[in-house]
């Protein structure tokens, strides 16, 4: 599956698909207020008023400042998925992130399972 569009930033990239975006953030980057605003504004330009799911590719690892979740509109970003095969490392951080976000949240071992979840989540919202 090829992205419809890719945005490159000095801290990583976003790959856009029909109903989800995959964020690939560079190692050792902290997703702070500045990074979060860039990611959300870029996604808003692409999706407009459409609902979508943000998939965070954490295979190479990066940190998230939990305060950035205050910028996420759960009516538009209806789900957040974290993907990593290093599941043990994610359990604690993902639990904290899930508590900071009011929408659907999932942790997945593979990108395929996260994409399937994202597609079904958006399809369910259309009804």
Q: pLDDT 10s digit of each residue in the chain, 127 long?
A: 899 999 999 999 999 999 999 999 998 899 999 999 999 999 999 999 999 999 999 877 778 999 999 999 999 999 999 998 876 666 777 888 888 999 999 999 999 999 999 999 999 886 4
Supply the CATH number for residue 25's domain.
Answer: 3.30.750.24
Overall number of domains in the chain: 1
pTM over 0.95: no
CA nearest to 79, candidates 61, 97, 60: 97
How far, in Å, CA of 116 to CA of 88, rounded? 22
Residue 113 structural domain: 5-125
């Amino acid at each position: 599956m090829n992205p419809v569009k890719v945005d490159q930033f000095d801290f990583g990239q976003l790959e856009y698909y029909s109903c989800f975006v995959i964020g690939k953030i560079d190692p050792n980057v902290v997703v702070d207020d500045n990074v979060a605003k860039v990611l959300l504004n870029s996604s808003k330009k692409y999706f407009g008023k459409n609902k979508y799911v943000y998939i965070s590719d954490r295979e190479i690892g990066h940190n998230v400042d939990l305060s950035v979740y205050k910028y996420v509109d759960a009516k538009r970003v209806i789900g957040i998925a974290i993907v990593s095969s290093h599941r043990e490392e994610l359990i604690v951080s993902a639990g904290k992130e899930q508590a900071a976000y009011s929408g659907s949240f999932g942790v997945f071992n593979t990108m395929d399972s996260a994409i399937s979840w994202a597609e079904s989540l958006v399809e369910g919202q259309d009804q």
